[in-house]
Structure 1
Amino acid sequence: MALRRQRIDGLSIQSRVIAEMRERIISGELEPGTNLSEIALAEAFGVSRTPVREALKQLQTEGLVEIRPRVGTFVRAPSRREITELFQMKELLEGAAARLLAQRGRVPELDALQANVAAADAAVAAGDRDRYAALVQEFHDLLITGADNAKLEAHYRILMNQLAYQRLVHTSLAQPGRLTQSDSEHRHVVELIAAKDGDSAERVMREHVRASHRALMAGLDAAAR
């Protein structure tokens, strides 16, 4: 885990600690409820406690950790209400992104999305859920970057960090029939974007996000039993 030794200032070290901690939380390497010790993290990263402390403060602002005074700092999991609220925002932003991309015409992101859907079809046919989950992440990233709207993308990245979607996508895809359904929904969205039908692309993309949310909540309910 140690950061590479470089002659860089404290802010650069802090930024790298934030980035690496964020990735470990979002990917699920650090699970919800994990106690984050400043001392242990400083030793693991090979830095002083100061950049670690400031990194944890930033990650608390992003909703990824919870600092409990005189108790400790812990990896935070969003509540069911927060998940619903975050998915509502996800629906709005991804719907808008689909519309904006459709308006741009034939751009590289559209070619990449079509290739992504073809690869996803193959993953579904092979029953490879892990590969499909990775392609889901790529699909949504391409959609957002393809919208070519920096403000939308900035808000989306913060939203997805708070949702820690990489941890949740497998729960959603584990629901019966969801793998095939999700693939079909992605393909339909891309077809509408290619046809420059922004209204329909936005509507179908929003429907897709709502379906993913329903599958996720069903998975969380099943896990809680």
Structure 2
Amino acid sequence: MEIRPRVGTFVTVPSRREITELFEMKELMEGAAARLLARRGRVPETDSLERNLREADEAVARDDRERYAELVQEFHDLLVAGSDNSKLRAHYRVLMNQLAYPRLVNTSLSRPGRAVQSDREHHLVLELILAKDGDSAERVMREHVRASRRALLAGLPLTGFRSR
């Protein structure tokens, strides 16, 4: 949304650069969340992440991209909630609102093989969290967000998005 005083409020289309910058912030925040969650060990959010991955595996096997996209968003939200850091959660909500994330996830998942790859990456992140390996969990989570950004940008039309 863009608010122009004395003119009105408009829905805007983000530029590729804006998407890249927002994903860079997403990478930092979610990497930090994975590290913080790994420090905590087994907590209710890790149990929820395990359930999420079981459902995600089923959605991928059925090629149900709509359901998988919902589970992707839930996975990332659970990861951040599990960080147990209220400031990180608050900033993350602002970021996700700026990204209009649900639409972007669907674009990313439209790339051939991306859902299977994404699901594997989520499993690895959770394995590292449960092993309490915060360094590796952060690194792998950041790599996952970068892979999602690449898939997203590859799936966007070159027209219709401002170059800024």
Q: How would you bin the TM-score normalised by the shorter chain?
A: over 0.9
Determine which of 7, 18, 33 is the counterpart of 1:97: 33
- Whether 1:207 and 2:120 are equivalent positions in the alignment is no
Tell me the TM-score normalized by structure 2.
Answer: 0.93
Offset at residue 199 of structure 1 (A): 0.5
**Quick one: which amino acid aligns to residue 196 of structure 1?**
K
Alignment correspondent of 2:111: 175
Q: Deviations over 1:30-67 (max 9, x none)?
A: xxxxxxxxxxxxxxxxxxxxxxxxxxxxxxxxxx2343
Alignment correspondent of 1:216: 152
Alignment correspondent of 1:39: none
SS at match of 1:130: helix
**Quick one: which amino acid aligns to residue 22 of structure 2?**
L
Alignment correspondent of 1:117: 53
Aligned length, in residue pairs:
160
How far apart, in 2, do the equivalents of 1:124 and 1:104 lie?
A: 29
Alignment correspondent of 1:65: 2
Alignment correspondent of 1:74: 10
SS at match of 1:73: strand
Change (3 A) 1:152 1:90: same
Change (3 A) 1:101 1:199: same
Offset at residue 69 of structure 1 (A): 4.2
SS at match of 2:157: helix
How far apart, in 2, do the equivalents of 1:208 and 1:134 lie?
A: 17
Q: Is contact 1:66-1:76 (8 Å) kept?
A: no
RMSD (Å), alpha carbons = 1.4
**Quick one: which amino acid aligns to residue 78 of structure 1?**
P
Larger radius of gyration: 1
**Quick one: which amino acid aligns to residue 42 of structure 2?**
R
Change (3 A) 1:192 1:223: farther
SS at match of 1:221: coil
Q: Is contact 1:171-1:219 (8 Å) kept?
A: yes
- Between the aligned residues of both structures, percent identity stands at 71
Change (3 A) 1:113 1:223: farther
How far apart, in 1, do the equivalents of 2:87 and 2:46 lie?
A: 20
How far apart, in 1, do the equivalents of 2:59 and 2:2 lie?
A: 34
Q: Is contact 1:91-1:206 (8 Å) kept?
A: yes
Determine which of 53, 75, 79 is the counterpart of 1:139: 75
Q: How does 1:4-15 map onto structure 2 within 5 Å? A: none
Alignment correspondent of 1:28: none
Alignment correspondent of 2:124: 188
Alignment correspondent of 2:100: 164
**Quick one: which amino acid aligns to residue 2 of structure 2?**
V
**Quick one: which amino acid aligns to residue 113 of structure 1?**
L
How far apart, in 2, do the equivalents of 1:67 and 1:182 lie?
A: 38
